[in-house]
Amino acid sequence: MLNAIGLANPGLESFIKTEIPFLSKLETNVIVSVSGGAIEEYIQIVEKLNDFDCIDGFELNVSCPNVKHGGMAFGKNPAIVADLVESIRKITLRTLIVKLTPNVTDIAEVGEAAVEAGADCLAAINTILGMDFDIRTRKPILGNITGGLSGPAIKPVALARVFELRKALPETPIIGIGGIAKPEDAICHLLAGADAVQVGSGQFPRPLLPIEIIDYLPKYCEEYGFTGVSRIKAVLDAG
């Protein structure tokens, strides 16, 4: 999937009015993804959402353009990531996840900066920068020219980034993301060092994919003699 839809959402006030009542009824943990064009916008969102007990944590999307630094994504600069995380950590005690972009030279450096600044967990990866053309019109197929590539094609890249983060941060919880189109792909992320997985575009053709993964994990563990999911990544640690 190659998309340039942005981060479409109804806005903070509408989210509070329409989504919070619904989320408060769910018997599960709720994590809110937060984005912004400046650190102040992230702070404003988290401060307001801190008032609601149904929210258990925040995922900071650092792939957003930073308007104060020429539009460069927050996640491409470890110092800026650290400033963002430190600012948010000061105003909330809830679980803080930083979702990292793969479009960097050293993702481990960015991940280390986030953890040192107070992140509880890292999520990797966000989409890969991509583009394509319509050869008839000779123009890019996306109105934004470039967009985010996701789906099975990015799985090898995602696994490598998760592996890099695990080597650099052996004790930090990591959520593996990217190319999970079937339950076996989730196992690959765990083998690379992830503690959990997040499914995105894989749900378009298979809406129940998360349930399939949950059902498959105990079967895999039983077949290969693992006492629990956490032991799957321990194979990589031991090897």
Q: Domain holding 125: CATH number?
A: 3.20.20.70
* C-beta of residue 15 within 8 angstroms of C-beta of residue 24: no
pLDDT value at 73 more than 90: no
Asked whether the beta carbons of 62 and 79 are under 8 A apart, the reply is: no
Give me the mean pLDDT over the 134-158 stretch: 95
pLDDT in tens, 122-143: 999 999 999 999 999 999 999 9
Catalytic residue among 54, 64, 121, 221: 64
Q: pLDDT per residue over 185-224, tens digit each?
A: 999 999 999 999 999 999 999 999 999 999 999 999 999 9
Q: How many beta carbons lie within 10 A of that of residue 35, not counting itself?
A: 19
Q: Is 64 a catalytic residue?
A: yes
In the chain, how many domains are there?
1
| Per-residue tokens: 11 | 């806005």
* Domain enclosing residue 185, as ranges: 2-238
Q: What is the mean pLDDT of residues 43-65?
A: 93
Ranges of beta strands (E only) in 80-179 are 95-99, 121-124, 128-130, 133-134, 139-140, 147-149, 174-177
Predicted pLDDT of residue 238:
56
Tokens of 239: 């090897």
CA atoms of 165 and 124, how far apart (whole Å): 9
pTM, two decimal places:
0.93
Which pLDDT tens digit goes with each residue over 75-91? Answer: 999 999 999 999 999 99
Residues 6+ positions from 217 with CB-CB distance below 8 Å: 183, 186, 187, 229
Going by DSSP bridges, is the β-strand pair 174-177/196-198 parallel, antiparallel, or unpaired? parallel
Which residues are CB-contacts of 4 (< 8 A; sequence separation ≥ 6)? 142, 143, 144, 146, 147, 148
